[in-house]
Amino acid sequence: MPSATSATSTAADIADLDGKLGALILYPTPSRPLHVSPPTDPLTSALEAHPAMNRTNPVDSNKSLFFTWDFIQRTRHNLNKIDVAKLDADDPAAREEYMDVIGRSSLSNMIISDTSGETMTKMTGEPPLDFGPDARAKAAALKPEDSAAA
Tens digit of pLDDT per residue, the chain (150 long)?
A: 444 444 455 666 766 666 555 433 333 344 433 333 343 467 888 899 999 999 888 888 888 999 999 998 888 778 778 887 787 788 999 889 888 888 888 888 899 999 888 888 888 888 888 999 999 988 887 776 544 333
- What distance in Å separates the CA atoms of residue 37 and residue 61, rounded to the nearest whole number? 15
**What does the domain layout of the chain look like in residue ranges?**
11-25+37-142
CA-to-CA dists, residue 105 to 5, 18, 55, 60, 76, angstroms: 15, 10, 23, 24, 9
What is the pTM assigned to this prediction? 0.70
CA triplet 40, 96, 3: central angle to 5 degrees? 65
Q: Which residues contact 96 (CB under 8 A, 6 or more apart)?
A: none
What residues contact 38, with CB distance under 8 A and at least 6 apart?
A: 23, 24
Burial (0-12, 13-18, 19+ Cβ within 10 Å), 112: buried
